[in-house]
Amino acid sequence: MERNVKVKIDHVEKIYDGRQGKMIALNGVDLDIYENEFICVVGPSGCGKSTLLNIIAGLLEPTSGAVYVDGKKVEGTGTERGVVFQQYALFPWLTVKKNVMFGLKLKGMPEAEAEEIAMKYIKMVQLEDFVDAYPKELSGGMKQRVAIARAYAVQPEVLLMDEPFGALDAQTRTQLQAELIQTWQEEKKTCFFITHDVEEAIILGTKVIVMSARPGRIKTIIDINLPYPRTQDLKMTKEFLDLKAQIWGEVYQEYLEVRK
């Protein structure tokens, strides 16, 4: 099967010039992300995961190297790349519907059409009873659903997610994982998903990438060949447990490195 490289990360290096002097956050990261892949990135905190995501999003500039989407060099943000943040980042002064419509209105889409599309994605995340609620009236899980709907509404080709479920309780997280798998199967997108939860990475990803710390680079790429649709039952299978042991081992080594 011929597969297109959707996102090409070409020798990306990022050096922060902070108060404690220069700090190499990413040290030559190379990665090809194929169309419709679901990449999960794990690694100890501070290894540069968010930095890499922000560079792909165009929110940060690499010190050297470049990112290409469909062969075109990334310069600044673009609506073909959507982002879901851990802190939800909903506009608190807008209702659920207006939040989801935000990106569509920026495109200059007429109100009625934007509303129709927004409603479609609000239904997708099952929040049709909360269209006129303000973010403060929603639970964490609901807020993140709105953020996902808002990202989907502008129909990006690449979806970047930075520990989106990191602040949620275990039960809500499990549910949102299932929903995310389902939406990804319905509307195939190229996903780049950061997590610190190894199980989450295996349940979601077609590939898991382990990053090493200080300086941040890609350590191992592991293909996850478990069949979709993936359910929580999978967590009891031997294949899953083997993968978990393998990935956990890789990550744990890096934790030890960091603690040194």
Ligand X SMILES: Nc1ncnc2c1ncn2[C@@H]1O[C@H](COP(=O)(O)OP(=O)(O)O)[C@@H](O)[C@H]1O
Contact 128, 145 (CB under 8 A): no
Contact 211, 217 (CB under 8 A): yes
H helices present in 4-155, as ranges = 49-57, 96-106, 111-124, 140-153
Sheet containing 217-223: which strands, arranged edge to edge?
Answer: 81-84, 158-162, 190-194, 38-42, 207-212, 217-223
Structure tokens at 187: 């509307």
Contact 58, 78 (CB under 8 A): yes
Residue type at 64?
A: S
Q: Which is nearer to other proteins, 190 or 212 (CB)?
A: 190
Q: Does 40 bind ligand X (CB under 6 A)?
A: no
Interface with other proteins (CB under 8 A), residue from 57, 127, 180, 194: 57
d(CA 136, CA 250): 39
Q: Does 167 bind ligand X (CB under 6 A)?
A: no
Q: Which is nearer to other proteins, 80 or 179 (CB)?
A: 80
Closest approach of Cβ 21 to ligand X, in Å? 10
Q: Does 195 bind Mg ion (CB under 5 A)?
A: no
Contact partner, 154, from Mg ion, other proteins, ligand X, none, Cβ < 5-8 Å per class: other proteins
Contact 215, 27 (CB under 8 A): yes
Contact partner, 103, from ligand X, Mg ion, other proteins, none, Cβ < 5-8 Å per class: other proteins
Q: Which is nearer to other proteins, 43 or 135 (CB)?
A: 135
The phi and psi torsions of 12 (rounded to 5 degrees) equal -80, 130
Q: Which is nearer to ligand X, 49 or 217 (CB)?
A: 49
Residue (of 215, 214, 208) closest to 250 by Cα position: 208
d(CA 59, CA 126): 30
Q: Does 95 bind Mg ion (CB under 5 A)?
A: no
Interface with ligand X (CB under 6 A), residue from 9, 29, 40, 47: 47
Which of these segments, 9-17, 31-39, 56-64, 138-146, binds other proteins (CB under 8 A)? 56-64
Closest approach of Cβ 49 to ligand X, in Å? 3
Which of these segments, 44-52, 180-188, 212-220, 223-231, binds Mg ion (CB under 5 A)? 44-52
Closest approach of Cβ 186 to other proteins, in Å? 22
Closest approach of Cβ 136 to other proteins, in Å? 5
| Site of interaction with Mg ion (CB under 5 A) | 50
| Site of interaction with ligand X (CB under 6 A) | 16, 18, 23, 25, 45-51
